[in-house]
Amino acid sequence: MTALFNLQPEAVGTIDADSKQAILEQLAQRFAGVYGLDSALVLERIEEREKLGSTGFGRGVAIPHARIPELSRPVAAFFRLESPVAFDAADGMPVDLVFGLLSPEQAGAAHLHALAAISRMMRDEAMHAALGEAPGAEALYALLVNGIDRDAA
């Protein structure tokens, strides 16, 4: 849990995916399983957002995000990929770190603040390297929560 969004330990892990669509599907399933959301709705909203332009952030990072009606505050999930996957990123590079964010439909400023914090953290070279080298889900979660809380302070 952070000041900006809810990130549960079960929402963080390493996955194997061979396409952007597979990543989005696993992300929707993880959001559904951890936060009790409708996976079909989550996938639909994330795919709608991707149609507006790729959320491939660059430098191997994607930040798929959407707004859905079932939430009272933003929630997040994080995947490190076993192998990089093409994601239509602005820099053309495949991604290996995926930080998903879902916010309530009416969460204008809260959604933007959370995205900005995630973006700042993912641009940090030391954090990027640490996430790539973390030995497992517990270490990934600790890095993420400490990074977001430090950034929000």
- C-alpha distances (whole Å) from 114 to each of 34, 73, 85 are 19, 11, 24
List 65, 111, 113, 128, catalytic entry: 65
Q: Which amino acid is at 109?
A: A
Is 65 considered catalytic here? yes
Dist CA 15 CA 107 (whole Å): 29
Dist CA 144 CA 45 (whole Å): 24
Residues classed as catalytic? 65
